[in-house]
Structure formats: structure tokens, C-alpha cells
Amino acid sequence: MTDKKTVSPCQSSGMMPEGKVPGNPESLNAGGKEIVNHNQSINAAVMNTAGINGKRYATGMYGGCFNPLHLGHLECIIRAAGFCRELYIVVSYREHPSDIPLRVKIRWLYTLTKHLGNVRFIPLPDKVTRKEDYTRDLWEADARKVRAEIGKPLNAVFCGSDYDENSFWHVCYPEAELMVFPRSRYSSTAIRNDIYGHWDWMPRAVRSYFVKKVLIIGGESSGKSTLTVNLANYFNTVYLEETGRDLSMLSGTDAWMLGEDFTRILLEHKDREIRLAEQADKVLFIDTDCLITRFFLDFLGVGAGGSAAAEDTARNQRLSDAISDLNRYDLILFLEPDVEWVQDGDRSEVIAADRLRYSEMIKELYRSRGFRFQVISGDYNSRFDKAAALVKDLLALNRSYPGSSGGAARGPAAETPEEQRTFFEAGE
């Protein structure tokens, strides 16, 4: 072991190089290389050793930056937890755009380890941006913080095979036995440089953070549902169908909808969006959202419902606006009303008689709330070609971290001549 090169603990067992783990003066931006295959077995003599209740150690520690967490991290955690009655995972984090938020990291780790029952988490802030500034006194201070958080004797420290007994793991925690796992082929750096090219390196619980959301909107009979399904099938992922299609017909026609029908549409649509993002493969396609519901609330009005209906409408308008404030999309596609009108169910003949006017009203509804969108027109094949190209561009432009769904299709944008139709009113 002593002839092995010591590098950042965030690279050991596949951990990322940026950030720090307590006790490493070289934990920032250190270089390193993959050593062995992820599936290589740990030393048989170590694996067969039993201790307290079948566990070799009472208390162990494994640390990382998890930026992002990948399968190499997960295997190390599983193995370390198997050796300990209690395993403490030290989660290094920085308040910086290049670092995934601490709460997200904790959610990932909890989701992947809650069934084990013996894993705890210790967050450790990293306020040093240059590795040369992370001196011996600082990493020893961090080690003291970790000991204080654990509050009991530390029996084992787990790391990757990039390290030996001369590394910080042993120097900072001399009371603990050093357990070295083989280095995996996974790399957080590689993932950050090409998120979608290394999609399978991340656990499913992690991937949803990087899923891109594509919203498809437009007036009635503009081809939204058809394009949504076609794109989802083409990109081999899931889609969210328009929630209001069935709920609007509970009284036989949308003219007699109850206030609670609109409430269900608004809430169920958002709930399904959140759940489907967990299943999506890189991108989630969404057919309409709460502002389309808001448009129909305004269009249908109170009708013959009297003051009670007026109160329901006002409440649902406020709910729609509140959900809209939460919504973030990476790309919004607005479909122009230039395909043939099809009477499918209970579509409004009033809207059919003046499609362009109502289409512009929907555009203004989104603009007034800070959303920008791509305008798609032409026949069905042209629409598909344009939309697919925009989605491919989205994935290519965002292949590097930070890649979370951060609402690129919302907020101010530089003006572009409308005739160009290239990211005009669209995401940055």
C-alpha cells in the first residue's frame, strides 16, 4: 500500500475531486486516475472477518463530496455499512454554483441507504476554494469536528485504493483502522463533464435532479398531445399527458365543471409531474400546465353558478398562479394554430372561430409571468423535426454540470428578431 500515490479522498472509490473531506490537505482539485474495476472483490480475509453482531466495527466513517453521487460511491457505502454497526457519511459541501446543494445530496444518500438502518450523515462545510489554502491545521480542525459529531470512538475509516497508511485518513484518525476499497471506474468529474453521456453511472434516485423538463403548450387542437407522445417515444422517455382531458368531462361538458374539478386538475397535474420526473430518461415531456388551466378558468368564467362559482373560480385562479410561481422548465414549445382544427370531444367552437386571437392570449399569459418559449409551426412532420432538434440542442448544451432543472425558460432574455425564430421567446 505504501507505494500508491495519495490523492484527493473525493476521488477515492470514485468520489469527486472538488471540495474536501475532513483531513486532506490536497482535497481540492487534486488529480487522480482510475485504478481497478468497480466489480473487483475486496480482500477475502477482510470480507470474512466478523465482529460485533456479525459486524467487524462498532463505528465507521466514509466521506465524500458526492458531486454528483454515483454507483461507485454507492458500492463503497453498501460495503462499509456491511462492516459497521454504525456508519457515518461525511458530506462535504460548498455554497457555490458548481456544487450540488447539500439538501439534495442528503436526500440522495438517505433515499439510497434508509433501508440499511445504520447510516448517519454529517455535513461538513468547505469554505476554502484553493487546495493550497487547506493547511494541516484546517484539516485537523475538520477531523476534530467529525469526531465531535460522532461522539463515540471511531473504529474504522473507509477510503479508496488511491490511499495508504501515510494518507490523511490514517494521519487524522490514527485510532481507527484504515479499510481500503478498490477504486471503481466511475468518476464524478467525468459525469459533470458529460452528464447524459454517463447517465447510467448514476443511481436512479440521483438522475431525476438532472432531468430536463420540456413543456408543450398552445391553443386547442394545435397538436400538443400528438407532439408530446411522439417526442417521448422518440427520446425513449415518459411524458405527462394533459390531466384536464378527463376531469373536464365529469359533468359531460366543461361548461358545467365544478370548482373542485379545476382544483383537482391543478394539483394532480403538478403531482404527476414531480413523480414522472423520477422515472424520466434524461428528459420529461409535459402536455400543458397550470396556466393553460388558468386560461380556461378565465375563458369559461362563472357561468350560471352565481357567487359560489365566482368564489371557486377566484380560488382556483390564485392556486394556478401559485403553482406557476413554482414551475420551472428548461424548454417551452408553443404550437401555432396552423394545423387543421379537429373536434375531439368538447372543444370550443368559439375558440375554433378565432384560433389566432385565443392563441395570442395564451402567449401573453405566459409572457406576463416571465416565461419564454420557442414558437413551432408548420405541418406535423415539420413540427416534430423542429421540436426534436431543439430538444437535442438542449441536451447537448446542458451536458456539462450544472445540469439541474433550473428554469432556463423563465426570466429576462436578450431580444432577438422575431423572424429568426431561434430561441425567440425561448430558453437561454
CATH code of 86's domain: 3.40.50.620
**Are residues 241 and 189 located together in one domain of the fold?**
no
**Are residues 173 and 248 located together in one domain of the fold?**
no
| Cα 302 to Cα 257, 313, 379, 389, distances in angstroms | 10, 7, 36, 42
137 domain residue, yes or no: yes
**Are residues 220 and 178 located together in one domain of the fold?**
no
Q: Give the whole-angstrom CA distance, residue 47 versus residue 49.
A: 6
204 domain residue, yes or no: no
Domain that holds residue 403: 211-420
**Are residues 247 and 325 located together in one domain of the fold?**
yes
206 domain residue, yes or no: no
Mean pLDDT, range 248-260, rounded to an integer:
72
Q: Give the whole-angstrom CA distance, residue 312 versus residue 303.
A: 12
Q: Give the whole-angstrom CA distance, residue 256 versus residue 59.
A: 64
For the chain, the domain total comes to 2
**Are residues 220 and 95 located together in one domain of the fold?**
no
Q: Give the burial class of 135: count Cβ atoms within 10 A of its Cβ; 0-12 exposed, 13-18 middle, 19 or more buried.
A: exposed
Q: Which tops the pLDDT comparison, 108 or 397?
A: 108
**Are residues 120 and 246 located together in one domain of the fold?**
no
Reading the block at residue 225, the C-alpha cell is 398531445
Q: What is the pLDDT of residues 154-183, one digit of tens each?
A: 999 998 776 666 667 778 898 999 998 887
Q: Which tops the pLDDT comparison, 376 or 410?
A: 376
**Are residues 169 and 228 located together in one domain of the fold?**
no
Mean pLDDT, range 401-416, rounded to an integer:
53
**Are residues 172 and 222 located together in one domain of the fold?**
no
CATH code of 299's domain: 3.40.50.300
Q: What is the mean pLDDT of the chain?
A: 80
Backbone angles phi, psi at 55, to 5 degrees: -105, 135
**What are the beta bridge partners of residue 215?**
286, 332
Reading the block at residue 337, the C-alpha cell is 394554430
**Are residues 301 and 359 located together in one domain of the fold?**
yes
Q: What is the pLDDT of residues 363-397, one digit of tens each?
A: 999 999 999 999 999 999 999 999 999 999 999 97
Instruction: Report yes or no: 362 and 295 within 8 Å, Cβ to Cβ.
Output: yes
**Are residues 255 and 117 located together in one domain of the fold?**
no
**What are the beta bridge partners of residue 212?**
283
pLDDT at residue number 32: 32
Q: Does residue 405 carry a pLDDT above 60? A: no
Instruction: Report yes or no: 182 and 257 within 8 Å, Cβ to Cβ.
Output: no
**What are the beta bridge partners of residue 158?**
62, 179
**Are residues 233 and 360 located together in one domain of the fold?**
yes
**pTM for the predicted model, two decimal places:** 0.79
Last residue of a domain, one of 133, 160, 193: 193
**Are residues 221 and 181 located together in one domain of the fold?**
no
Quote the percentage of the chain above a pLDDT of 70. Answer: 75
In which region does residue 8 sit, left (phi positive, over 0), alpha (psi from -120 to 50) or beta (all else)? beta
4 domain residue, yes or no: no
pLDDT at residue number 52: 60
